[in-house]
A and B are shown apart, each in its own frame.
Chain A
Amino acid sequence: MERVPILKIGGVLLVSIQIDLHDQSVLALQEDLAERISATGAHGVVIDISAVEIVDSFIGRMFATIASISRLFDADTVVVGMRPAVAITLVELGLTLGGVRTALDLERGMRILRVLGQESGRIPAGDPTGLEWS
């Protein structure tokens, strides 16, 4: 089974999905991510799905599940780079990802996390980018 790598950039965990997701790898990703957030105390999670072309309802629910898990560790989740076809599919499936933030690309997603982190005080005032903090 392929595992999705989780990269740490400062206080942000980056999950870039480059493989075809199967139900098993989704479950593994959720477990791995929970452990990494807990271990690193990250304030944000970015899920980059710009390479994902096919989604089903299970993957759709994964975003909401990951967001709920992160929320328990006081971290925000942003899903970035969703393709139009994927967005249309999710809407047709009736999944609106309530509670999950979205952004057009990784850069904008990181900006959102920085603003959220600064507003809630999770990023120290001396770290304007939110990336040095760890």
Chain B
Amino acid sequence: MAGEAGHVHRLTELLRENADVLIGRWVESAAASTRGRSTSAELERDFRELFTAVLPVASGDGRDLSGNGYAEIRSLLEELSRTRARQNFSPAETASSVFALKEPVFQLVDEQNDQDLFRQVLGFSSLLDALGLWTFESYSRARESIIKEQSEQLLELTTPVVKLWEGVLAVPLVGTLDSARTQVVMEKLLEALVETGSEHAIIDITGVLAVDTQVAQHLLKTVVAARLMGAECTISGIRPQIAQTIVALGIEFGDIATKATLADALRHALRREGVDVVRRGDGVKR
């Protein structure tokens, strides 16, 4: 990686000698684009670390960025991209913090007026380009993993199966229903039916914002699957607008029981279980 064997890489020397000035200018030009989301002190700490890691590889041109020599700078940049991704920086902003080092370096080399240095700074420039692209890549990887985590959490969080009564389960659905979520709901509900030996399930869609043909299809499939296993499914919480949509779309629920509220559905299930709910004669609260 060393430019010429035995020789000291002039640019590396120059960078080392002027480290403080360069970092200062680097921070200054990068701070403008962070718009106050990172303080100058934070930037300076990050950049000083990066700068120290860049020095040993400054004589390379970044073509073999995945090689061992670049391991340290790579992991530093990955870390930077990850934190930036979590702080809602855009990938361009993240990469431009790396590119921001170019200007002060060019300026410095310009002042030296030395042909050798000019050639070396060209190599250094392509190294920085490669590093910038690396941040871009790690940024999108970090973003993807965050999105994946969140969607998994969402799936887990939003589909609880609750027991309302001995033999009566309910799934309160909230938000938007898509194929993936309905699949999870379906599996969780059916497994809970087997585990608890429940013969009644209520799917409550009070919190569902919209029902289209696809969602209705998924709901119907769940109900039919439950029926195949020997359990009865009721759909409750159909809001007036959704009822209108369902009728307008021509969706047929057939012989599947639908109720206006969860309470109605529970009463229906209890009656089928052979339980009657009655008010005590005196009607006095105790």
The chain A residues found within 8 Å of chain B, CB to CB, are 79-80, 82-84, 86-88, 90-92, 96-97, 101-105, 108-109
Contact = CB atoms under 8 A, between A and B. Distances in A.
Contacts of A97: 228
B224 interface: yes
Contacts of A108: 199, 230
A88 B190 contact: yes
A133 B119 CA distance: 102
Given A82-B230, A84-B229, A88-B187, A104 B221 contact: no
Given A88-B186, A88-B187, A91-B221, A83 B194 contact: yes
Nearest to B167: A104
A101 B226 CA distance: 12
Contact of A84 (B194, B199, B221, B227): B194
Contact of A104 (B187, B199, B224): B199
A109 B199 CA distance: 12
B252 interface: no
A91 B228 contact: yes
B199 A87 contact: no
Interface in B164-191: 186-187, 190-191
The A interface, classified by DSSP as helix, strand, loop or mixed, is: mixed
A102 B230 contact: yes
Contacts of A109: 230
Contacts of B194: 83-84, 104
Given A82-B230, A102-B230, A104-B231, A88 B197 contact: no
Interface string B221-251: 1001111111100000000000000000000
B224 A91 contact: yes
Contact of B225 (A79, A80, A84, A104): A84
A90 B225 contact: yes
B193 interface: yes
A71 to B, nearest CB: 19
Contacts of B227: 96, 102
Contacts of B225: 84, 87-88, 90-91
A109 B229 CA distance: 11
Nearest to A92: B221
Nearest to B227: A102
Given A96-B224, A102-B229, A102-B230, A87 B190 contact: yes
B197 A87 contact: no
Nearest to A105: B197
A103 B193 CA distance: 11
A120 B199 CA distance: 24
A102 B186 CA distance: 18
Contact of A82 (B187, B197, B221, B229): B229
Contact of B229 (A87, A92, A96): A87
Contacts of B221: 88, 91-92
A79 B194 CA distance: 14
Contacts of B190: 84, 87-88
Contacts of B230: 79-80, 82, 101-105, 108-109
B50 to A, nearest CB: 51
